[in-house]
Amino acid sequence: MNREPTKEDYQELAEFRYRLRKFLHFSETAALQVGITPSQHQLLLAIAGYPHRNWMTPTEIAERLLVRHHSALGLIQRCEKIGLVRRFSHPTDKRSIGIELTKKGQDILCQLTLLHQAELKKLGITHRYLDLDEFGDS
């Protein structure tokens, strides 16, 4: 049987949530300051950080951003319209498309990533300390 949470357990979880909210607020503000929305930033980061290739399908984007497929398509269209991403024919499935960053999208993402790394350092958090394998695919 699991024990009841202690005051320290609550404090630790509350502190984690506070730091997470603080970082997310920073992230949203940083995106807006460089002229894109937080959702657009998330899309750029998802594509650039996708394992094993530099592009994604709309279905993969929807899955990574935890949004519905049609919402992902709308976000892709808005990003394409302002020159952040471009679409191309899927290399093996002609019914699908691939989405990749443009030079403009790469430049904005680079700028935001450097800002985020500095903020994480300021908060005493480095992503390299997070064991992402522990999170699993939930």
Query: Distances from the Cα of 131 to the Cαs of 9, 88, 95, 118, 125, in angstroms?
Result: 20, 34, 36, 20, 13
Measure the N-to-C terminal CA separation of the chain; round to a whole number of Å. 24
Domain borders along the chain are 9-127
**Closest C-alpha among 91, 83, 81 to residue 53:** 91
Q: Which fold has domain 9-127?
A: Arc Repressor Mutant, subunit A (1.10.10)
As a whole number, mean pLDDT of residues 97-111 equals: 98
Total-model pTM: 0.86
The percent of residues in the chain predicted with pLDDT above 70, rounded, is 90
Distance CA 77, CA 103 (A): 17
In this prediction, residues 3-25 reach a mean pLDDT of: 92
